[in-house]
Structure 1
Amino acid sequence: MKSAAVPRSAPAFTPRALACALSYCFIVAPAASQNQPHQGAELPAVVITGARFPAPAAESPIGATVISAEQIRRAGVLDVNSAIRKIGGVYGRQSLDGSPDFGLDLRGFGANSGQNLVILVDGVRMNENELSGAILASIPVDTVERIEITRGGSSVLYGEGATGGVINVITKRGAGAGAGAGQASGYHGSLSLERGRFDQHDARARVAYGQGPLSFDLAAAHQGTDNYRANNAFRQKSISGGFQWAAEGTRLGMRLDSARQDMRLPGSLTEQQFIDNPRQSLTPNDHGSTDIDRVTAFAEHRIGSLELAAELAHREREVRAAYGLLFESAYRSRQTQFSPRLRHSARVDGLHNEFVAGVDLVRWQRDTSFGSSASQDSKALYLRDELRFAQLSNARLAVGARHERFEKDEANAMLGVPAGAQSQNGWSLEGSIDVAPSLTLHAKAGRSYRIPNADENGYRSSGALLDVQTSRDLELGVRAGSDARSVTARVFRHRLHNEIFFDPTLSGGWGANTNLDPTRRQGVELEGQLSLGQAWRLSGQWQHVEAQFTAGPNAGREMVLVPKNVVSTRLAWTPAAPHSAELGAQWVGSQRYGNDFTNTCGARIPSYATVDARYAYRVGAWEAAVSGLNLGDRQYYSNAFGCRSGIYPSDGRQLKLSLRYQF
């Protein structure tokens, strides 16, 4: 076996140099390229989700990024999480359980990134009231119509935990009336098989039917892999189905999703163990499983200029884990959400006013094998009003506010977790204006918040409930160009008070969850895309984040597990059929180890770069493809919770072959 080495230092280029080069390509490239037709270019999205209602692409949320189903298919990704990372350029950390659900991080929130990011599926929250991330692997990727990524504070519309941003996964509506653009009536669907290194295998099938106002779809998938490390096998079976009736301004439907996951848990390594053999495991008996069942009913109705909509969703999750031969744990959680809302639109002399009001009611409960029986109820009311001035350089101005109340309870008094209520207010002010043809400026300001979850309150540093985390959010941005050639730049700042975090220096070195001294996230985001002639398309993202304490004994010190720079780029080749290919690369800068609050560890998690590629050949309804991840077989890690220890190695080179039939 090839001996591993500690990842080398950063490549010779710097992120700023690459960003400047990308900007030059996107803006200064010859005008002839812009005027040439691009055969493989994506058509602008017809419908997106603005203010929690469907809206034309021209009225998309300010600063949003949209990933289409065609982009997902062309990139050959097998799960939603991979699509968000590879196509959307979102930074992700290797999962600890072998699943494809990497920890997603918008704007540098480190180990708590999952609690500062709201993930939705068809408008329903996937976040849990515990220290675990949303499980996207349970969503069959073939059912996804698009993924919308909105960076920055979004608590007005989406509630607590939306300081980093929001990711909304929209599933396909089937065929027939009310279906997405380009979906014909009758039967259609797909079958696909994939096989790869480390006993990786994937089988997926989807069928949809629509005729008149009624449509339905059904999808099933089975995937598995032994993964790169020993004792890290992962298996999943999932099924998803739904139906809807849509006619004359009304849409009613229901969707059911179910998944069963089994995984082996390889545990962490020290730096020396990683150097000796990054594939080894010192926990050969650790394993776990997760069962997820979710049902969602939805309704929409239009009465003139008034639109009414609502979702009623229930989710159950059961998690079991065994660590060694002596310790086992299990818990079962249930969450029910009801979200009715309305939108009123009016147009007068070139002025368009959109008023949105809604209520979010969520009930969460969890029972554990170690005696905990926790619950949380939340009730929220939000209002948002947006003005669009078509005759004034297409200017937009929106203001919104939200009030949310949480009631927490722990039935087991022996655990010493007090019951209590916490209320919070959020607000936002947004605006944009076209200062010139193909040049738009935007600005956003607001207040977002996060509530401590059951796990954080269960192992805290003080006797009372942890305080609510709040953030003052500010963003300025510019977008220049067209669909063929564009660049978007944003500068942002989040000033956090009472940030909720696990401080490893508390409780005599055992650590505890606490409210930190004031902290700040600020930086720059750059996105661009460029059509190169008729067959080539280049896209890229750069995120630069400075995360540090601004007061207290650690003032000026860096936050842990936050890379200052993440650079992603993709080059797509889509000539006349039957060929297509994609090449992608990502570079992640160095970061502080997970317990290095004082910045005194003599080392940092090293920077690393990875490359992936895919080539596909299509004949009629058939497509065969070969793809590879981490083609350089780079030995690296993105999770390390101690100084030179607590390391979870990332995957080595992965090669795969796939076959797909679409009808």
Structure 2
Amino acid sequence: MIFSILPSRAPAWKPLALASALTLCALNPAIAQINDDKALAPVVVTASRFANDPAFSPIGATVITSEQIREAGVSNVNQAIRKIGGVFGRQSGDGTQDFGLDLRGFGAASINNVVVLLDGIRLSENEISGALFSSVPIETVERIEIVRGGSSVLYGDGATAGVIQIITKRPQGNALHGSITTEIGQFGHKEVRASVAKGWGGFSLDANVSKLESDNYRDNNAVRQNNFSGGAQWASNEGRAGLRVDIARQDSRLAGALSLAQFEENPRQTLSPNDMASIDTNRYTAFMERRLGAFELAAELSHRDRTAKALFVGSFGSSASQYDGRMTQFSPRVRHLSMSGDLTNELVLGMDFAHWTRSAISTFDGFPSPQANASQQSKALYARDEVKVGNARLAFGARHEIFDKDSVNNGVGLYDISQALNAWDLQGNYLVAPGVNVFAKGGQSYRVANVDENGFTPVVNQPLKPQISHDLELGATLGDIEKKVTVKLFQHRLKNEIFFDPTAGFFGANVNLDPTKRQGIEIETRMRLASTFTLSANLQHLSAQFIEGPNAGNEITLVPKNIATLRINWMPDNSQSADVGMQWVDSQRYGGDFSNTCSARMPSFATLDGRYAKRVGAWEFAIAGSNLTDKQYFTNAYGNCQSGIYPDNGRQLKLSARYDF
């Protein structure tokens, strides 16, 4: 993959002063109205980007709770989304736990078609790089909301396949509580996590640290990670305000790709024993919420520094690169909630501002190339109104966003463009009878090409057009919290989809595809089979293909037609628990097989995992295993046919001990 590099320029807007004023507005009453006896109730963020009101819970969303996370015994956020949420994930090439998540079959471009947020702060990158889920302590997660389908009205660029929102816990009362977890396993796996939180009336502090070391399944694929997350907040009945710091350090060895013959000979081998990479990330966030009668104000201001380094050593020499990126986000918004008789109305108005820069330096055998710089500024205005009357809900939203991008290489401007985009959606939900909900969604979402994609196009220095998707979803939910089934029919019709085409030019290029379409069905169920057994299942069947142009009728690559996930959880009342899960993934086209001429396909596979835990007082001891049948398989293969294969992990057993206080 070839990268372009980006320019720095001063932001045209200055959010810091406004954010400081908003924070102080929330902070003063919070300090004045401390109630030592009142515990802070957990609050969740809904589809309106505000704290939950039961009347306006997200329509058709998948929700993973902290209780489900504990029951399944997952140790990181990405794993929770895959195991509990049933989301398909592709093995990361850097040995980390940050699998590439794919909602609705977007293949190699999946990570750029899903927006990931942490308490309203965007974690998704403006480059070909996935969100660092591993920097989020699993112990702090209150819930994870997965909203599949177009969501650009509230979340903007890249929300065509959906949104993954991670909501963290809020401190409870004056208690001191926390946990310490240690874990060891095969392939030199060692991990330690510690979490602590303390409240003093309306003021609270929390801190989380973790250290992970693993040699991993493949040769030259070791990873070392160190994370810290800490925060302080003041809260009252009228709102809250606070600060957070998140620091992540990651060093990885890169095992590289294999051919099918090499994979079958030894999937653990590497052909690149000296390749390595690292990512250092610092994120600083200020936030506030303030209620003023029927109005509620909220805002987040976040700044992130990110340094990525890589070294590749080949037979023709070595290349090294360093990318230094910075991103500042500011998201003020206001909500008005009104009620009149049987009618409840929620109106949300908001703005999103972002300023992103990156500088890049690379060398080949010690000879430096010119420094490349790039920047992107975006500003958006959105509105969403939802009405609930009796058993019916109806919501409409619209968004207008402007992107300004430029790129400079060795002082020479490569491009400087502005792109304006619109999104809209219309959603409805009706309670037909107790336990029977039907819903429908329609709208337009969008994505703009990131700096890496614009840096390698068929026409040099000509940025790609924005991707536009027209989205449709029909569904129904049957049952209650004890037994519930949700069925969705969906369709995405895309124009100018942004994708890497290996057949463009001599080396391939990032292009705007001819019109494409994705359509299918999703079924999600969770039910209590008995007092001690719970079953959950997810099924996705979809078709992803070109509908116009020379490739009309061809399948989109790296998209399995069918994915099925099944889990059974056992929790008797004797301090024991067990969890067993299976996932089956259908065959799919190799990543470079745009013409669909390769007679071979990436094989289908099924994996089995399990965990048994026993509690003894404040201690929990567990044994867990992944890929228990030791299946040799792969989810990433970017070559044209039987090549470019990145093997997935073999069987791994882990032992853990956790102490809660």
Same fold (TM over 0.5): yes
1:120-131 map, 5 Å: 120-131=117-128
Q: Which amino acid aligns with 1:349?
A: G
TM-superposed deviation, 1:91? 0.4
Structure 1 residue corresponding to 2:258, chosen from 256, 266, 269: 269
1:326 paired with 2:323, answer no
Secondary structure class of the residue paired with 2:79: helix
1:348 paired with 2:340, answer yes
Q: Deviations over 1:495-539 (max 9, x none)?
A: 00000111000113x100110000001100000011111100000
**Aligned Cα root-mean-square deviation (Å):** 1.3
Runs of 5+ consecutive residues of structure 1 not aligned to the other structure? 1-44, 177-184
Q: Which residue of 1 aligns with 2:365?
A: none
TM-superposed deviation, 1:46? 7.0
Q: Is the 8 A contact 1:175 1:211 kept in 2?
A: no
Q: Is the 8 A contact 2:332 2:350 kept in 1?
A: yes
1:155-554 map, 5 Å: 155-176=152-173, 185-324=174-313, 326-370=318-362, 371-390=371-390, 394-412=391-409, 417-463=414-460, 464-508=462-506, 510-554=507-551
TM-superposed deviation, 1:415? 7.1
Counterpart Cα distance in 2 of 1:65 and 1:644: 35
Q: Deviations over 1:291-315 (max 9, x none)?
A: 0100110000001100000000001
Between 1:345-354 and 1:68-77, the stretch displaced more is 68-77
Counterpart Cα distance in 2 of 1:255 and 1:86: 28
TM-superposed deviation, 1:397? 0.1
Q: Which residue of 1 aligns with 2:5?
A: none
Counterpart Cα distance in 2 of 1:475 and 1:601: 33
Between 1:106-115 and 1:64-73, the stretch displaced more is 64-73
Q: Which amino acid aligns with 1:476?
A: L
Secondary structure class of the residue paired with 2:414: coil
Counterpart Cα distance in 2 of 1:169 and 1:397: 25
1:587 paired with 2:587, answer no
Counterpart Cα distance in 2 of 1:116 and 1:250: 33
1:551-630 map, 5 Å: 551-630=548-627
Q: Deviations over 1:445-504 (max 9, x none)?
A: 000000011111110112522100000000000000011111000000000000011100
TM-superposed deviation, 1:328? 0.6
Q: Which residue of 2 aligns with 1:154?
A: 151
Number of aligned residue pairs: give it: 608
Counterpart Cα distance in 1 of 2:649 and 2:432: 46
Q: Which residue of 2 aligns with 1:53?
A: 50
Counterpart Cα distance in 1 of 2:297 and 2:239: 9
Q: Is the 8 A contact 2:408 2:415 kept in 1?
A: no
Q: Is the 8 A contact 2:63 2:146 kept in 1?
A: yes
Q: Which residue of 1 aligns with 2:83?
A: 86
Q: Which amino acid aligns with 2:233?
A: Q
Q: Is the 8 A contact 1:548 1:557 kept in 2?
A: yes
Q: Which residue of 2 aligns with 1:33?
A: none
Secondary structure class of the residue paired with 2:603: coil
Q: Is the 8 A contact 2:45 2:167 kept in 1?
A: no
TM-superposed deviation, 1:57? 4.5
Q: Is the 8 A contact 1:417 1:465 kept in 2?
A: no
Counterpart Cα distance in 2 of 1:235 and 1:201: 10
Q: Which amino acid aligns with 1:75?
A: A
1:642-653 map, 5 Å: 642=639, 643-653=641-651
Secondary structure class of the residue paired with 1:417: strand
Secondary structure class of the residue paired with 1:251: strand
Normalization by structure 1: what TM-score?
Answer: 0.90
Q: Deviations over 1:558-607 (max 9, x none)?
A: 00000001100100001103110000000000000001011000100000
Q: Is the 8 A contact 1:374 1:410 kept in 2?
A: yes
Counterpart Cα distance in 2 of 1:248 and 1:506: 59
Secondary structure class of the residue paired with 2:596: coil
Q: Deviations over 1:217-251 (max 9, x none)?
A: 00100012111000000110001000110013120
Q: Is the 8 A contact 2:609 2:626 kept in 1?
A: yes
Normalization by structure 2: what TM-score?
Answer: 0.91
Q: Is the 8 A contact 2:55 2:388 kept in 1?
A: no
Counterpart Cα distance in 2 of 1:252 and 1:98: 37
Counterpart Cα distance in 2 of 1:415 and 1:156: 36
Q: Which residue of 2 aligns with 1:15?
A: none
1:57–1:542 CA distance, 2 compared to 1 (3 A): farther
Counterpart Cα distance in 2 of 1:196 and 1:285: 25
Counterpart Cα distance in 2 of 1:103 and 1:250: 36
Q: Which residue of 2 aligns with 1:632?
A: 629
